[in-house]
A and B are shown apart, each in its own frame.
Chain A
């Protein structure tokens, strides 16, 4: 009987060379896919939709006492008895840190999904980088790439990934300054407490965080039946279930409880949480992520409630 799940890399060793070759083989595909995705998302994105330092007109608003008189737009104010201030749309460059978990547990794909979790996480990360680079943001990847503001930031990120592996777990984040955004891709299957232990310090430093949980459908709906031995790709632990179909209800309940706990904890930090399944289109998660980044969390939350 064919198994449902498979590890994408049959030899999960730490052999750097083989990993690099596999990465090199994967990344160009991911770039193409990411470009395509970025195009679909960027088409509906009009600016940042908030006032700030920029070149484009945003709105006229009444003058408030205390503001600099030099900001009054006299041409508009001459039309009636009020004085107006011209606001410009905010176009300040922003630093967004992206990071994807590429641990062995991500090297997993089931027959129910077209791609593996790792592939989807890479695609999402590079696509986000492409989008942000097009709008002039600075892109960084902790431990891999210093923040750069370049049109080809996504390519540079991919090239950097070829040479430097992000490693397991979040690397040193000491160089990240406050008022940056950080976007984390991963499966976050570790216990919620240990995950939060690592994320809480970041939040305390004022970083705005976005967590994208990439999950395989097999992990969520548990389609196994009969006598089955389950293996953990990270630890190598084995568990044997006599009648796997009897476990389905209990497992899905526990799995959802874990996700709900994680989402609640992140909300308390003020961070957003986007669950994503690999059998869904990647653009869904990207659109939701983009909504959060562009400050429209309500729409994003509604679009992602599944």
Chain B
């Protein structure tokens, strides 16, 4: 077998042409550029000293000769290691291939070896019987070489061990007594599960020649077990070739396939099993879903882990107005910061509470945390209750809204007293309380004893007999701080303080983080849906391992995994390795069971077996290399010729021509480009939206009663006129909005005159108002009944209607505007808030952080009150006709009162637009003093 041969030796005869080419090349110099030059006599005196090259330089000729020689040699097609066809011809070629998991890494080489054999058989005109050992169905009928090649191309490695005995049986059946000529076995070198001897079985077919083609076995390496130890993940590995030392790098991946930790396993010389560790923090190890051996892309080198310690998904929900500019005031901020290292946080997009609850529960969280939500819409409450009863966990934090909520809330673990308890205030003798040691039954027990935590305010539980066992944490005086209670299969946990720092400094302490972490760890990992039944049932395939060690969607061939009692079994055709179950919860089924070792395939000594390496007999054609060399030489020759002709010297005309060509190209490209390729994305109503965006507009709710709407429109028009005249703000025309359909987010304030005779808004409309208020808008409710309610103690019809509307809304606690509120000082200094009537207070959101600092003349609170309620009929006082004359008299008829009513309007609008800015004006003297220095 020669190591070098030509496929077409006859072409080499063309090499005799080389001398002729040499002669031709030497004879033809490059053509010079002819220039007329009158001062030739002067030039002649200079030119004498330079030798005029009449011929090409010798090295250029040599270059071209090499080019010609390379082309001739390339056509002759020299080949290294040409294959010899040594197939036995007295029978069909029988080809047995292992496509087991260990063959995946060098599968292309195996296919090449098999293809070479098939080509040999084609040259000898022999049929081929191809059989793959890791297939469910075997088809070993001898076919012609082309068909066998198609079968081979369709074959792929399987993430399964080889099952050779059925394959050999199929081959025996297919041959039907015919003696095969050459029997080639391309094996993975791993002995089968049962003790049968495949080599002996193959020899019993009595082939004329038996070839055993094997790789070196370095890739036959598998992880068989994993244990989550105290501080590391311990893995057991097994290998085939055990004679040398070997260190195997390991990588752990998270659910998204990102490598997050690494480790190593070390095989001592002569050992076929090894233990490897991946040291990582506990929280990080919880994220492991898959451990792989680096550089070994097969199913054996991949070990799948269950989701036993999966991260919990935590949904957050708050009743607070979202204000991204002041994160430290938001209770969710502290919860978010505490839980982000341990859990996946989801937040709702919808501002409307019932929509938000639905949206969050659709994402199947483990835990839902609600911070200071007093009242949920009935639909959301029922939905939430179902979810908890199915196994969800609800964690609630107290707050002003919860304290003000009615006592019949079913979603608290203990009975609560209405209102909150303040410790250490001006009207209290008690001091702020610290925490007592955690009860033994609490999940918090074992934590560091709480120190330096002071609770100033909390909601109180009604004493009940089982209160003590429902308590996870107490204050020093014995009142519960954290209580819990089961609800169906789920659980509700209530922190009796708020999640921000208004009520206690608990959210600032490390104990808060630990308490939340332990609470969340108690929740089921898969949310409410997983593991409902309790009794074992067959799990459908969810994600299956491919032969390359990656996870893919389940195929039709896999069957549900029966519940396994006792030790896990090895993977089979029915249950290939992979994840079984569903997204919420799954069981990992691995290729090799724990404790499994792989052994080398035994070959009987006495038999005449031709052993071949997998990569042997690889032919290498030099044709492409030679053609590439010729092309490179041609390129070099072109450059040399151009250089000799002076193409790269700085010649302005050439550059100008190039530049002109380039400019022409660019110009044509610009001219050819479409003038305007933007898509038309206009939507109906865009014009109306743009008209609202140019300036600030006040809005009023259209009640459907013409007279009420007219007064509202004229009232806001009058107020706009007054504001334009008195202040820097120039509002646009007032806009009547239909709260059921119109977009509300363009308006800073919506005036809502309550009319008992108007149709009641439906739930969807009220939900939109709720979302508007939650996103920072303000609704000014006007019951217009100050006169009516004077006659008796009973509420008027308008007030009752307002109560009906507000019943479904999550309304913060209210109070009449206190004397030091910024609303009394936003533009004018006001003592009361008259409209057409006088006497009704203006109700706004209550402020709890009332400081005892009496020196401060104005308090703004944080943000703007989302709701205002009055009975003074503001719009009737503001209403003017087109001539600026008042439409309605005030009661009593007093123009001073009307002027005050306008001032009230100005103050409300200024408060709406500037927030607590005016309250901060008290710092102006200090600022001026500082600037003066």
The closest CB in chain A to the CB of B36 belongs to A5
- Contact assessment for A241 and B47 in the assembled complex, using a CB-CB cutoff below 8 Å: yes
State whether A225 and B646 are in contact (beta carbons under 8 Å apart), knowing that A240-B52, A241-B47 are contacts in the complex: yes
Task: Tell which of A6, A106, A224, A232 touches B40, judged by Cβ atoms closer than 8 Å.
Answer: A232
Which residues of the partner chain A approach B653 to less than 8 Å between Cβ atoms? 2, 111
- Contact assessment for B38 and A226 in the assembled complex, using a CB-CB cutoff below 8 Å: no
State whether A228 and B36 are in contact (beta carbons under 8 Å apart), knowing that A239-B47, A247-B47, A254-B42 are contacts in the complex: no
Which residues of the partner chain A approach B47 to less than 8 Å between Cβ atoms? 239, 241, 247
How far apart are B639's CB and chain A's nearest CB, in angstroms? 14
B39-70 interface code vs A (CB 8 A; 1 in, 0 out): 11111111101111110000000000000000
How far apart are B637's CB and chain A's nearest CB, in angstroms? 16
Task: Tell which of A218, A225, A242, A250 touches B649, judged by Cβ atoms closer than 8 Å.
Answer: A225
Question: Does B925 interact with chain A (Cβ within 8 Å)?
Answer: no
A226-253 interface code vs B (CB 8 A; 1 in, 0 out): 1111111111010111111111001100
- Contact assessment for A255 and B39 in the assembled complex, using a CB-CB cutoff below 8 Å: yes
- Contact assessment for A243 and B646 in the assembled complex, using a CB-CB cutoff below 8 Å: yes
Query: Interface stretch among B26-34, B229-237, B905-913?
Result: B26-34
Question: Does A187 interact with chain B (Cβ within 8 Å)?
Answer: yes
A104-127 interface code vs B (CB 8 A; 1 in, 0 out): 011010010000010000000000
Question: Does B645 interact with chain A (Cβ within 8 Å)?
Answer: yes
- Contact assessment for A255 and B42 in the assembled complex, using a CB-CB cutoff below 8 Å: yes
Which residues of the partner chain A approach B54 to less than 8 Å between Cβ atoms? 240
Task: Tell which of B33, B38, B50, B645 touches A234, judged by Cβ atoms closer than 8 Å.
Answer: B38
B675-706 interface code vs A (CB 8 A; 1 in, 0 out): 00000000000000000000000000000000
Question: Does A191 interact with chain B (Cβ within 8 Å)?
Answer: yes
The closest CB in chain B to the CB of A104 belongs to B38
Residues facing A in B577-604 (CB within 8 A) are none
- Contact assessment for A242 and B35 in the assembled complex, using a CB-CB cutoff below 8 Å: no
Contact size range, A: 35 or more
- Contact assessment for A254 and B46 in the assembled complex, using a CB-CB cutoff below 8 Å: yes
Contact size range, B: 20 to 34
Give Cα A189 to B42, complex, Å.
8
- Contact assessment for B35 and A4 in the assembled complex, using a CB-CB cutoff below 8 Å: yes
State whether A228 and B32 are in contact (beta carbons under 8 Å apart), knowing that A2-B653, A247-B46, A247-B50 are contacts in the complex: yes
Which residues of the partner chain A approach B645 to less than 8 Å between Cβ atoms? 1, 226-227
Which residues of the partner chain B approach A216 to less than 8 Å between Cβ atoms? 38
- Contact assessment for A227 and B46 in the assembled complex, using a CB-CB cutoff below 8 Å: no
- Contact assessment for A3 and B35 in the assembled complex, using a CB-CB cutoff below 8 Å: yes
Give Cα A23 to B321, complex, Å.
99
Question: Does B429 interact with chain A (Cβ within 8 Å)?
Answer: no
The closest CB in chain A to the CB of B650 belongs to A225
Give Cα A270 to B889, complex, Å.
119
Question: Does B644 interact with chain A (Cβ within 8 Å)?
Answer: yes
Question: Does B37 interact with chain A (Cβ within 8 Å)?
Answer: yes
How far apart are A101's CB and chain B's nearest CB, in angstroms? 11
Question: Does A197 interact with chain B (Cβ within 8 Å)?
Answer: no
Give Cα A258 to B44, complex, Å.
13
- Contact assessment for A228 and B38 in the assembled complex, using a CB-CB cutoff below 8 Å: no
Give Cα A7 to B644, complex, Å.
26
State whether A3 and B44 are in contact (beta carbons under 8 Å apart), knowing that A227-B30, A242-B50, A247-B50 are contacts in the complex: no
Question: Does B651 interact with chain A (Cβ within 8 Å)?
Answer: yes
The closest CB in chain A to the CB of B653 belongs to A2
Question: Does B647 interact with chain A (Cβ within 8 Å)?
Answer: yes
How far apart are A235's CB and chain B's nearest CB, in angstroms? 8
State whether A5 and B644 are in contact (beta carbons under 8 Å apart), knowing that A227-B32, A230-B43, A240-B52 are contacts in the complex: no
Give Cα A219 to B44, complex, Å.
13
B486-521 interface code vs A (CB 8 A; 1 in, 0 out): 000000000000000000000000000000000000
Task: Tell which of B33, B39, B49, B50 touches A219, judged by Cβ atoms closer than 8 Å.
Answer: B39
Question: Does A190 interact with chain B (Cβ within 8 Å)?
Answer: yes
How far apart are A91's CB and chain B's nearest CB, in angstroms? 42
State whether A241 and B40 are in contact (beta carbons under 8 Å apart), knowing that A3-B33, A229-B35 are contacts in the complex: no
Task: Tell which of A117, A187, A242 touches B53, judged by Cβ atoms closer than 8 Å.
Answer: A242
Give Cα A218 to B30, complex, Å.
24
- Contact assessment for B53 and A250 in the assembled complex, using a CB-CB cutoff below 8 Å: no
- Contact assessment for B44 and A105 in the assembled complex, using a CB-CB cutoff below 8 Å: no
How far apart are A205's CB and chain B's nearest CB, in angstroms? 29
Which residues of the partner chain B approach A241 to less than 8 Å between Cβ atoms? 47, 50, 52
How far apart are B653's CB and chain A's nearest CB, in angstroms? 7
Which residues of the partner chain A approach B43 to less than 8 Å between Cβ atoms? 230, 239, 247, 251, 254
Which residues of the partner chain A approach B38 to less than 8 Å between Cβ atoms? 105-106, 108, 117, 187, 189, 216, 219, 232-234
- Contact assessment for A239 and B33 in the assembled complex, using a CB-CB cutoff below 8 Å: no
Which residues of the partner chain A approach B30 to less than 8 Å between Cβ atoms? 227
Give Cα A250 to B36, complex, Å.
19
Interface centre among B38, B46, B53, B654 (most CB of A within 10 A): B38
Task: Tell which of A1, A189, A242, A244 touches B39, judged by Cβ atoms closer than 8 Å.
Answer: A189
How far apart are B55's CB and chain A's nearest CB, in angstroms? 11
Which residues of the partner chain A approach B51 to less than 8 Å between Cβ atoms? 242
Residues facing B in A1-54 (CB within 8 A) are 1-7
The closest CB in chain B to the CB of A253 belongs to B46
Which residues of the partner chain A approach B42 to less than 8 Å between Cβ atoms? 189, 251, 254-255, 258
- Contact assessment for B36 and A1 in the assembled complex, using a CB-CB cutoff below 8 Å: no
State whether A226 and B33 are in contact (beta carbons under 8 Å apart), knowing that A189-B41, A241-B50, A247-B43 are contacts in the complex: yes
Interface centre among B35, B47, B646, B653 (most CB of A within 10 A): B35
The closest CB in chain A to the CB of B651 belongs to A225
A172-213 interface code vs B (CB 8 A; 1 in, 0 out): 000000000000000101110000000000000000000000
- Contact assessment for B35 and A5 in the assembled complex, using a CB-CB cutoff below 8 Å: yes
- Contact assessment for A230 and B35 in the assembled complex, using a CB-CB cutoff below 8 Å: yes
B799-839 interface code vs A (CB 8 A; 1 in, 0 out): 00000000000000000000000000000000000000000
Task: Tell which of B31, B40, B647, B654 touches A237, judged by Cβ atoms closer than 8 Å.
Answer: B40
State whether A5 and B37 are in contact (beta carbons under 8 Å apart), knowing that A239-B44, A240-B52 are contacts in the complex: yes
Residues facing B in A78-92 (CB within 8 A) are none
Which residues of the partner chain A approach B646 to less than 8 Å between Cβ atoms? 225-227, 243-245
How far apart are A194's CB and chain B's nearest CB, in angstroms? 10
Which residues of the partner chain B approach A251 to less than 8 Å between Cβ atoms? 42-43, 46
Residues facing A in B611-663 (CB within 8 A) are 644-647, 649, 651, 653-654
Give Cα A241 to B49, complex, Å.
11
How far apart are A111's CB and chain B's nearest CB, in angstroms? 7
The closest CB in chain B to the CB of A232 belongs to B40
- Contact assessment for A229 and B36 in the assembled complex, using a CB-CB cutoff below 8 Å: no
- Contact assessment for B50 and A231 in the assembled complex, using a CB-CB cutoff below 8 Å: no
- Contact assessment for B46 and A231 in the assembled complex, using a CB-CB cutoff below 8 Å: no
Give Cα A51 to B281, complex, Å.
115
Give Cα A227 to B32, complex, Å.
5
- Contact assessment for B33 and A229 in the assembled complex, using a CB-CB cutoff below 8 Å: yes
Interface centre among A224, A230, A250 (most CB of B within 10 A): A230
The closest CB in chain B to the CB of A8 belongs to B36
Which residues of the partner chain A approach B39 to less than 8 Å between Cβ atoms? 187, 189, 219, 255
The closest CB in chain A to the CB of B38 belongs to A105
How far apart are B54's CB and chain A's nearest CB, in angstroms? 8
- Contact assessment for B649 and A228 in the assembled complex, using a CB-CB cutoff below 8 Å: no
Which residues of the partner chain B approach A237 to less than 8 Å between Cβ atoms? 40, 44
Which residues of the partner chain B approach A224 to less than 8 Å between Cβ atoms? 35
Give Cα A227 to B57, complex, Å.
13
What are 21 A-B interface contacts by the 8 Å CB criterion? A3-B33, A3-B34, A3-B35, A3-B36, A4-B35, A6-B36, A117-B38, A187-B39, A225-B646, A226-B33, A226-B645, A227-B645, A229-B35, A230-B36, A230-B43, A232-B38, A232-B41, A234-B38, A240-B32, A243-B644, A246-B50
Contact surface of A with B, Cβ cutoff 8 Å: 1-7, 105-106, 108, 111, 117, 187, 189-191, 216, 218-219, 223-235, 237, 239-247, 250-251, 254-255, 258
Query: Other than the known A227-B644, A237-B44, A250-B49, what 5 A-B pairs have Cβ atoms closer than 8 Å?
Result: A5-B36, A187-B39, A234-B38, A251-B42, A258-B42
Sort A-B residue pairs by CB-CB distance and give the 10 closest, nearest first: A226-B646, A232-B40, A225-B646, A225-B649, A230-B37, A105-B38, A229-B32, A250-B46, A227-B32, A242-B53
